[in-house]
Structure 1
Amino acid sequence: MADYHYMEVLMNKHRFVCVMVAILAIAVPLGAQGTKEQSPKELVVYAYDAFCGDWGPGPSIVENFEKETGIKVNLVSSGDGVEMMTKLISEKNNPWADVVIGITDDMAQKIYDAKLLQPYESPVLADIPSFLQFDAEHRLLPFDYGNFAFVVDTQAMKHEDIPTSLASLTDPKYKGKVILIDPRTSSVGLGLLVWTVEVFGENGYLDWWKAMKENALTITEGWSSAYGLFTEGEAPLVLSYTTSPVYHVTYEHTTRYQTTLFSEGHSTTIEGVGMLASSTHKDAAKKFIDYLLSQAQLSIALANSMYPVNARTVLPEAFDYAPKPEKNLSIPAETLAKNLDRWLTEWTQVMSR
């Protein structure tokens, strides 16, 4: 079972004909499955790409939920976390989704301010430690959590060359060896931005990014593309999670990819699920959320390579390969809400020069 105590010490896409095409392109959301012709009994669930992909937990969770409840689910792949939230906000006056999966605690304030979510105090919250329940109003309920970290390809990098801190990554020897992720489009990329503020402070975080602009092989739009480049051997270091090696141990039976722990500590992240206030299928939405927080927890933990929030979940030995940081870093929600847009603007100015 995950060690919840350590966390306590402790985020988008002839004139008459042209006009009509443009209108339809805006009005109809693009998804992994189906169209906007929602059937009366169909539950529309927005989730980030990695959750919906072939290797993500989404497809099997939906299949099992449908068999158990008889409720049809349309799982819609909606970009990375920030893109998905932007999509929801843009659809505020023409809502489609009933449930959203993957809004993280560090970017939640924007969706709260948009007043899109309806609180739901699921009975399963009784099995989830209170320190993981980041929204007192239960608009977003936690379903998994972890720490941001850099994962190293040990077959492509010598042990003595593995970085030991964020600061060490700015060494010129890492030029072209690190894959980063855009904080404007990805919750993982946003996590790194916040992590640098936590470590270097507001007076120093941009200096780190200036240096990393020279070292990074590329900055991708989302985690999936970044990790794909990493496993294809394009670079030996990628931004991910401390728990990422669990996937490789479980499904590939290899310890080639390992987490590198940093002396200054690691930023924490909690992913949440919420019900749209505009939903006309709230009973079905509640059942799906309850399922996500209970029966689906092990599937989520294994496929996402994250820790489950439900304390009843028994984890396999593969999680022994997920090292736990000695220091867990975080920023108060109020501070994030007040400063995040400014930090993103400053980041964009630095990285676009």
Structure 2
Amino acid sequence: MRQFILYIAGIFSILFLLYVYREDNQQLNDKSSIKIYASGSFMSSWGPGPELKALFEERTGLKISFIEMSDPGITLQKVSFSAEEAMGDIVIGLDQFDIARFTDKVRWKDISHLNTISQSTFASSGLNLNELKNSDKFMNFIPYDWSAVTFVKRTDSNYQINYLPDLLKPSLKSKIAFEDPRTSSPGLQFLLWVASTQSEDQAIQFLKDLNTHAHSFSPNWSTAYGLFKNKNADLVLSYITSPIYHLVEENDANYQALEFKEGLPVQVEFMGLLASCKNCEAAHKFITFVQSKEGQRIIMNKNYMLPMDKQITEGTAFDTLRVFKLLDFKVYSKEEINKWLRIWSDIRKNDG
């Protein structure tokens, strides 16, 4: 009797696995469904993902499924291991450093013909992306939003900051919340901002001094910004668009993005299409949609980043942003990025 029960249980297990396999394959081969790797914040109820999904599905009849990408490097490594069995079609939310460091792990489709936003449009935003044209790395990726990185303070604070070395003023000791460049995109922006505006020796000494001067180096932006919001820190490394968030969402104008004489570094976010995509033509439609005025407006209002087309900001709170001096967008090599990350790791290990 016991053997019979085990036999029946085995049959049911096999049938169940076959059913699951069949369902997964049907979903995988469903040509009306696009699968998109995206960050948790992009997919969240307050992020742009749900609204983009709803409007795109309504207009096209196609379906979107998001797959959470907690870490671009790990996600793309998993995709490289699974090769042709990868579930996703599109990867959205890669910045220029992710592309330099991680995207050679997998193959990508050429989608340059889908880029509907011209270089002159970028220039109207004060954004110089000319270097992209000379980089093979970026041929397979399309930018969809951007913001300059800077420090944000409350307007009732009296700190006078004009240059990066001003961050080392005694009055700012233990008052600035940073993000760790090893785990955070704004943190890496800051590290290379320092490296690009000072000699190597000066930059290393500045980082050593900053290591013992800062309030903290958080693993991500949200943790650092939380310290600032809770008044544990007086300044935080963030984006020029952060005060717009407080103005729109909280009706609070008590936040200011700082200008630096050196110029501000720029973070640009991109999307790409995996060579192993199952629904490539449908994915093309989504990539085009993200660049449309409706798509750009959703991303601006939900992601609190600037659209690639400046016209989208007209008549909105984003149109009130002051004009900041920006550094030219620079394409860094993986070796150069890793070199400065090693320098930072050594500083943290020896002086932290």
Q: TM-score when scaled to structure 2?
A: 0.80
Relative distance call for 1:265 and 1:311 in structure 2 (3 A) is closer
Match of 1:188 among 169, 186, 189: 186
Shift of 1:144: 0.8
1:261 CA drift (Å): 0.7
- Give 1:169 deviation, angstroms: 0.8
Which residue does the alignment assign to 1:322? 321
Q: How many residues align?
A: 311
- Percent identical pairs in the alignment equals 29
Q: 1:308 to 1:114 in 2, by over 3 A?
A: same
Change (3 A) 1:102 1:162: farther
Q: Is the 8 A contact 2:182 2:188 kept in 1?
A: yes
- Pick closer, same or farther for the CA change 1:317–1:127 going to 2, 3 Å: same
Distance 1:188 1:167 in 2: 18
Out of 77, 80, 84, the residue aligned to residue 92 of structure 1 is 80
Any conservation in 2 of the 1:177–1:237 contact (CA below 8 Å)? yes
CA contact (8 A) 2:129 2:328 kept: no
1:287 & 1:210 partners in 2: Cα distance? 48
User: 1:270 and 1:86, CA in 2 relative to 1: closer, same or farther beyond 3 A?
Assistant: same
Let me know the Cα RMSD of the aligned residues.
Answer: 2.5
- Report the AA paired with residue 49 of structure 1: G
In 2, Cα distance between equivalents of 1:144 and 1:78:
18
Given candidates 172, 175, 178, the residue that maps to 1:177 is: 175
Q: Secondary structure of 1:192's partner?
A: helix
Question: Residues 287 and 52 of structure 1: is their aligned pair in 2 closer, same or farther, counting only changes over 3 Å?
Answer: same
Instruction: Note the C-alpha offset of 1:259.
Output: 0.2
Over 3 Å counting, the alpha-carbon distance change for 1:76 and 1:218 in structure 2 is: farther
Contact 2:110 2:139 in 1 (8 A): yes
Aligned to 2:29: 40
Pair 1:343-2:340 in alignment: yes
- Partners of 1:351 and 1:175 lie apart in 2 by 17
- Please state how far the C-alpha of 1:100 moved relative to its aligned partner: 1.1
Higher helix share: 2
Change (3 A) 1:207 1:107: farther
Q: How does 1:144-223 map to 2 (within 5 A)?
A: 144-155=145-156, 158-159=157-158, 161-223=159-221
> What is the aligned partner in structure 2 of residue 67 from structure 1?
58
Mean Cα deviation higher: 296-305 or 35-44? 35-44
CA–CA distance in 2 between the matches of 1:327 and 1:292? Answer: 25
SS in structure 2 at match of 1:266: coil
Output the CA distance in 2 between the equivalents of 1:324 and 1:218: 29
Alpha-carbon distance, 1:175 to partner? 2.2
After superposing the two structures, state which structure 1 stretch, 235-244 or 47-56, moved more: 47-56
Q: CA deviation at 1:202?
A: 2.2
**1:21 maps to what in 2?**
none
SS in 2 for 1:203: helix
Shift of 1:305: 2.2
**Residue aligning to 1:56:** 47
Partner of 1:287: 285
* CA displacement at 1:162 relative to structure 2: 4.2
Which runs of no fewer than 5 residues in structure 2 stay unpaired? 1-23, 123-127
Query: TM-score, normalized by length of structure 1?
Result: 0.79
Deviating more after overlay: 168-177 vs 315-324: 315-324
